[in-house]
Amino acid sequence: MNLTTQKRLAADILKVGVNRVWIDPEQLEEVSRAITRESVKQLIDNKAIKAKPQKGTSSFRSKKIAEQKSKGRRKGRGSIKGAKGARRPKKEAWMTTIRALRKDLKDMRDKREINNTTYRKLYKMAKGGAFRSKSYMKTYARDHDLLR
């Protein structure tokens, strides 16, 4: 028995898509006899025709992946997209390094490990990119007898 007309009418009345219309399998005869909008409305009131619940997109998998990433998983070489400078810009890396160097230089000056002349010299060298880390800067100062 063909119920396309009834389904179409019910979908229009219920304001859902045709695929979301559910017809009670035990009342198929009664539904097939309904050919007017009024008779379909009556069947909807009698619960012979219903709208199926809307399906949503589950966020379970995305939440699970986010949780894994917060633990440091799923971040290996195969997961990396984008250039090296896109994930952590060069400027950001430089800012982190130079701030650490300058803070260390100030501490050394305040503790009287270096004098103002040496401080200025090392400061300018750091600005020029001579040191890649604090340990390199300290090694340089030690090797060149700049520390007191």
Average pLDDT over residues 75-89: 90
Assign residue 11 the CATH number of its domain.
Answer: 1.10.1650.10
In percent, the amount of the chain with pLDDT more than 90 equals 91
Question: At residue 4, does pLDDT exceed 80?
Answer: yes
Which CATH number goes with the domain that contains 124? 1.10.1200.60
Q: pLDDT tens, 17-34?
A: 999 999 999 999 999 999
Task: Give 31-76 as a DSSP string.
Answer: HHH--SHHHHHHHHHTTSEEEPPPP----HHHHHHHHHHHTT-S-S
Q: How confident is the model at residue 122 (pLDDT cuts 50, 70, 90)?
A: very high
> 45: pLDDT confidence band, cut at 50, 70 and 90?
very high
How far is it, in rounded angstroms, from Cα 8 to Cα 21? 9
Domain that holds residue 116: 88-143
Indicate whether 10 belongs to any domain. Answer: yes
Residues 6+ apart with CB under 8 A from 3: 23, 28, 31, 32
Q: Which helix (H) or strand (E) holds 90?
A: helix 90-110
pLDDT average, residue stretch 60-72: 97
pLDDT of residue 32: 93
Query: Is the predicted pLDDT of residue 101 greater than 80, yes or no?
Result: yes
Reported pTM: 0.54
Residue 130 lies in a domain: yes
Q: Evaluate whether residue 78 is within a structural domain.
A: no
